[in-house]
Structure formats: C-alpha cells, structure tokens
C-alpha cells in the first residue's frame, strides 16, 4: 500500500528569544538529530497518541505549516511525492481544505461567530471548486445531511452559538470534507463530547472515510477511541516516537514500557481499585491493585436535596416568554466522605443541577424550586447576605481551569484572595503560609506561588483550582467535568489526588462527568439524567453492571471499547 503522507526525521523547534546574543530554541518534536518518522497510507487511519506535551499536535500541524512564526522545521514531509517543507505559501494555501483538511478539538473557536453555518460552508466550495453561490448552498445542505445534522436546510441560516457542541463538530467535519480531501487531520475531535455524541461523531468519520476513500491522521489521548477508529498507531513521548505499528498488535502486546504504562493508567468500566497507576508509577514498577476502601454507610448527611428544580425564561415574540425546565425534580442524599456521580448527555441538566446547589445562576434568569438542606438550612431560601458563609463550605471546580483562574493574578494571589474575603487567617503572612502548604498538598512546589496560570500545564492548573477550593476548608466540592480535558496520565494524578483529599479531609463530592469509566472509579452512588429528569439512581455497581433503564444501557453501549481485554484490565 503506497504512502499518501510520509514524515521522515521531522524536527520542530520554537525560537524563545535571545540570551547573551544567542537565539534560544525549544525543541518540541525530535530530540537532537533524531526526528519523528512515520507514514499514512492511502485509505488508512493513523493515530498519534501520547500525553500532553508529547508533540502530537505540533507534528500534525507541521504538515500544512499551521504553526506560529517562531517555528522552525527540518527533515521531510512528503505528500503525494511533494515535499511540503519546500512548498511556498500559495502552494500550501491551495492544499489547505482542498487536498488536506483539519478538524480541531474546539469547534466554537474554529467557527466564525459572526457568519452563518451556510456562509462558512460555502466559502471553501466557492474558493476551491469554483461553484456559484447557489450551487455552493445546495452542496452545503447535502454536506450537512451527509454528516447527520437534523434539518440541514434550517441549519444553514443558524449561527454557531445556536448549535450544540456535537452539532458544531458535525459542521466542522462537513467543512473539512466539502472539497473531498485525500487526508483529514483530526486533532482531538471528540475529547469534550459526551459518550453518545462521541459515538455519533466516530460513526460519521468512519462512514465518510469509507465513502470518500479518505486517509485520516487522528490525534487523541483516549485509547479506547483510538482502538475503534485507527488502523495504525504511533505512540509519542517528549517529542519522539516510542512505538508504532498496527493498533491490534500494539494494544494487545505493547513492546515499549511507556506504551504499557499509557494503557495501564486508564480507568475502566470493569474494575474499581483504590488508586490509578500513573505513567511514572507503572514504569517504576510501583503499581498496586488494592480494592477501593468501603465507605461508611452511616456517615453524616451533608446535603439532602428534595425535588430540586431549575428553569430558564426563553423569549417568545416581542414581549412574551416561555419557561424551559432544565432540572425537573432531582432528589438525592450526599454523605460525608462519599461521592455522588452525575451522568447524562449534553443538555441533560447535569451542570445546571450542580450550579443550582450553589445558587450560581442569575436569580432573574428563571425560577428555582424544591429544597436543598445543608447544615439544617435550605440553601434555596437563603438571602443574598446569608449565602457568603455557606459558599465558603461548598466550592466548585470547573472543567476549564484556565478560564476560571484570573490570568493577571499570580497563583499566590489567587489562593490568598478568597482567604482574605472570608477572613481566613490572622494576616497575609499567615495566608501565604497556608497557600504554600495547600500547594504542597496538591503536589506543587513553593515556586508556583509566584507564577501565572499560563506558565502551567492543564493538569497543574487543575491542581491550582482544587487548592483554591481548599483554602476555605469546604465540606462539599462540586466537580463539573473537572478531568474531562486531561490526558490519561494527568487525569490519573488528579483523580488520585481527589481520592486522597477525600480520605484525609472527609470531603463530599458531587462529581459531574460524561466519562463513565471515571465515574466508576470515583463514585459511590450515581444519578443518571436525561432531559432534566433523573431516570435512574442507584449504587455505582448497580448502575454500571445492571442498569434498569434503556437510556442508561444506551449510554454504556456508546462507551468506546477499542482496547483489548488484557490491555483494559
């Protein structure tokens, strides 16, 4: 089988400035004179896997030179016999979208918010294929139908913000295949999607690959997804290739210690141990398989919610409005030291329910009902001046720590500010010392106090977000997709940290996630939500091993199971 794309000894460095008149460079892909080499054959899917910072995305973006101006590439990138490293900008622009297309992780940052879906779909058709606007619009509607977007004619006039995340990703895929490219580069296209939408996107990509005989370079840290969609896999770490070959062979019988560790540190639906093995643990041989500790079934109740409801007002006409019921009556009990998992598709009401517990919604946005008892008081009936002391005891960790950390504050300022607001600590020196100890507790050193959020990786920022919550000695943490965007090794570190903090401090967690394997590891009880309603509620073992509802069974059936049994165990 001939190679459509071939990378030979690719090395990528970034100029980082000058020191004593000498240009400083950071080598992101390759080490020394050893570069990255692999091939993408025709009508084949090759996956790049590895931790954050391994060089996956830089390698893929080097193909079309979608890198910043301070990047320097060497080696050879050959596409259909042409060396793309020697191609001029006009030649690359003719290839982009026409012969090689890209789909990125966050469709909302890739779609232009001021243009309709139809306008953005028609643009490459007019530019590359020379279609008239009318022909392009007809073709755009057919493309939306091809990727499975319901009511495609109406969607042409919609703006990106009017679509769900899964619908936005389908639009991005439609744009990518508009000119029937020979190679599709998909960079984490399903990472932030729930399992059912992820399943739909994977099915769409698989179908399009067969219909158009298209090759794919698929980048992902989810090995279950890779096992389902890819033919070959290239395992990268620290800018170098550690192992490559057929997916079935590499996943069933990995040869490199790093590949073995990468496969081992992923939580699975099959078991629930006390801890997850990290990459470094596994390579060092420090791996334990102890079962999870049993929880105290008679632990004190910290939160008792009864018929919790939350609605939003939607505009109807010029002066009218309608009520949209986002949460329609959730009832649950959360005990000290226990974790309540909340699962469901996007739009099921998971996040709305979590934020309703903390009264973080706009009070004029719509009515809230039911009862949430915490320390003998109903959180939903508290006055605004009574909320502050309660919010100190119930904290929240969001999915994107970079968006929830002030980029202008150092980590020290970020940790000291809530303590100053709530009167924790005798003075700033005392608060600074407390911040230092909290950073140590979450695995960061004292130097982090003087750095800014952009100087940390995603996993480190999430540790800072957790430390900020702990500054106020909370009793409950609401974790809203807190590990969904992290790669498997960093995810394992953060999940282990959360388990350790729960055991040490007796914290209770409301753990919102679309990753059922992670819920299996963390939760004691699970709520399954659909369209704002709790459709099933039981222990984690009963929900995941013997679900009673068809909807729960569909969620479980959508989980990627591309790992061989031996690797997944």
Q: What are the extents of the domains in the chain?
A: 1-89+218-264, 301-568
| b/e map 435-472, b = 16+ CB within 10 Å | bbebbebbbbeeebbeeebeebebbbbbbbbbbbbbbb
Q: How far apart are CA 203 and CA 230, in angstroms?
A: 12
Cα-Cα-Cα-Cα torsion 238, 244, 250, 251, nearest 10 degrees, comes to 50
Q: Using an 8 Å Cβ cutoff, are 10 and 29 in contact?
A: yes
Q: Using an 8 Å Cβ cutoff, are 357 and 303 in contact?
A: yes
Q: Using an 8 Å Cβ cutoff, are 396 and 358 in contact?
A: yes
- pLDDT tens, N- to C-terminus, the chain (569 residues): 578 999 999 999 999 888 888 888 899 999 988 999 999 999 999 999 988 778 898 999 999 999 999 999 999 999 998 999 999 999 998 888 889 998 887 777 788 999 999 999 999 899 888 999 999 999 999 999 888 888 889 889 999 888 876 788 888 888 888 888 999 999 888 776 777 777 888 888 888 888 888 999 999 877 888 888 899 999 999 899 999 999 999 998 999 989 988 888 777 777 677 788 788 777 877 766 666 778 888 999 999 999 999 998 877 777 778 888 889 999 999 999 999 999 988 778 898 899 888 888 776 778 889 999 998 999 999 888 888 888 889 999 887 777 788 999 999 999 999 999 888 888 989 999 999 998 988 888 889 999 998 888 777 888 898 899 889 889 999 998 888 767 777 788 888 888 988 998 899 999 998 888 889 999 999 999 998 999 999 999 999 899 999 999 998 888 876 665 444 44
**What is the separation of C-alpha 116 from the centre of its chain, rounded to a whole number of angstroms?**
26
Tell me 85's DSSP state. G
Q: How far apart are CA 524 and CA 503, in angstroms?
A: 14
Q: How far apart are CA 509 and CA 474, in angstroms?
A: 11
Going by C-alpha positions, the residue among 338, 305, 393 that lies closest to residue 508 is 338
CATH topology of domain 301-568: Rossmann fold (3.40.50)
Going by C-alpha positions, the residue among 475, 528, 530, 563 that lies closest to residue 260 is 563
Q: How far apart are CA 509 and CA 338, in angstroms?
A: 7
Cα-Cα-Cα-Cα torsion 358, 362, 365, 369, nearest 10 degrees, comes to 30
Looking at residue 404, its pLDDT comes to 83
Q: What is the CA radius of gyration of the chain?
A: 25
User: CB atoms < 10 A from the CB of 293, how many?
Assistant: 10
Going by C-alpha positions, the residue among 196, 176, 171 that lies closest to residue 186 is 176
Phi and psi (nearest 5°) for 108? -70, -30
Looking at residue 1, its pLDDT comes to 59
Q: Which residue has the tokens 């600074």?
A: 432
Looking at residue 569, its pLDDT comes to 41
For residue 24 the two structure tokens come to 């400083």
Going by C-alpha positions, the residue among 416, 457, 453 that lies closest to residue 436 is 416
Looking at residue 416, its pLDDT comes to 94
The dotted CATH code for 1-89+218-264 is 3.40.50.300
> Please, which residues bridge with residue 304 across strands?
333, 373
Concatenating the DSSP letter of every residue in 215-240 gives EEEEE-S-HHHHHHH-SEEEEEETTE
Tell me 444's DSSP state. -
Q: How far apart are CA 61 and CA 14, in angstroms?
A: 14
For residue 531 the two structure tokens come to 């369209």
Q: Would 1-89+218-264 and 301-568 be classified into the same CATH topology?
A: yes
Q: How far apart are CA 237 and CA 54, in angstroms?
A: 4
pTM of the model: 0.81
Looking at residue 564, its pLDDT comes to 53
């Amino acid at each position: 089988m001939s190679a459509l794309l071939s990378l030979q000894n690719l090395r990528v460095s970034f100029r980082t400035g000058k020191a004593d008149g000498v240009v400083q460079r950071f080598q992101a892909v390759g080490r020394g004179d050893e570069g990255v080499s692999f091939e993408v054959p025709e009508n084949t899917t090759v996956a790049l896997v590895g931790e954050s910072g391994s060089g996956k995305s830089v390698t893929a973006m080097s193909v079309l030179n979608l890198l910043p101006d301070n990047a320097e590439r060497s080696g050879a990138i050959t596409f259909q016999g042409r060396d793309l490293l020697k191609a001029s900008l006009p030649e690359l622009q003719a290839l982009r979208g026409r012969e090689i297309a890209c789909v990125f992780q966050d469709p909302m940052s890739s779609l232009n918010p001021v243009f309709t879906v139809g306008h953005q779909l028609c643009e490459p058709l007019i530019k590359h294929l020379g279609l008239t606007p009318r022909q392009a619009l007809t073709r755009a509607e057919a493309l939306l139908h091809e990727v499975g977007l319901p009511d495609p004619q109406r969607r042409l006039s919609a703006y990106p913000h009017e679509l769900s995340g899964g619908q936005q990703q389908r639009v991005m895929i439609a744009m990518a295949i508009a000119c029937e490219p020979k190679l599709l580069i998909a960079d984490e296209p399903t990472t932030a999607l729930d399992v059912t939408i992820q399943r739909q996107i994977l099915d769409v990509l698989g179908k399009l690959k067969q219909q158009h005989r298209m090759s794919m370079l698929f980048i992902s840290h989810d090995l279950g997804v890779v096992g389902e969609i890819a033919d070959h896999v290239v395992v990268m770490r620290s800018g170098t290739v550690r192992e490559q070959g057929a997916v079935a062979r590499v996943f069933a019988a990995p040869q490199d210690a790093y590949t073995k560790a990468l496969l081992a540190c992923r939580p699975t639906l099959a078991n629930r141990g006390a801890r997850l093995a990290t990459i470094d643990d596994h390579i060092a041989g420090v791996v334990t398989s102890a079962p999870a500790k049993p929880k105290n079934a008679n632990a004190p109740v910290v939160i008792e919610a009864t018929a919790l409801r939350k609605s939003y007002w939607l505009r109807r006409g010029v002066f009218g409005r309608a009520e949209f019921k986002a949460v329609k009556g959730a009832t649950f009990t959360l005990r000290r030291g226990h974790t309540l998992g909340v699962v469901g598709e996007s739009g099921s009401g998971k996040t709305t329910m979590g934020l309703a517990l903390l009264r973080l919604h706009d009070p004029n946005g719509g009515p809230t009902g039911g009862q949430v008892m915490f320390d003998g008081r109903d959180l939903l009936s508290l006055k605004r001046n009574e909320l502050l002391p309660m919010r100190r005891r119930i904290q929240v960790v969001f999915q994107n720590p970079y968006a929830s950390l002030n980029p202008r504050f150092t980590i020290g300022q970020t940790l000291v500010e809530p303590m100053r607001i709530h009167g924790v600590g005798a003075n700033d020196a005392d608060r600074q010392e407390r911040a230092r100890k909290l950073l140590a507790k979450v695995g960061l050193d004292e130097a982090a106090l003087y750095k800014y959020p952009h100087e940390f990786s995603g996993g480190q920022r999430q540790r800072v977000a957790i430390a900020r919550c702990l500054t106020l000695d909370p009793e409950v943490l609401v974790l809203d997709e807190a590990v969904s965007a992290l790669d498997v090794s960093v995810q394992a570190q953060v999940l282990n940290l959360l388990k350790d903090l729960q055991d040490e401090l007796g914290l209770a967690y409301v753990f919102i996630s679309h990753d059922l394997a992670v819920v299996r590891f963390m939760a004691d009880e699970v709520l399954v939500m659909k369209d704002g309603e709790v459709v099933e509620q039981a222990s984690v073992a009963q929900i995941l091993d013997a679900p009673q509802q068809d909807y729960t069974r569909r969620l479980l059936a959508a989980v990627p199971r591309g790992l061989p049994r031996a690797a997944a165990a």
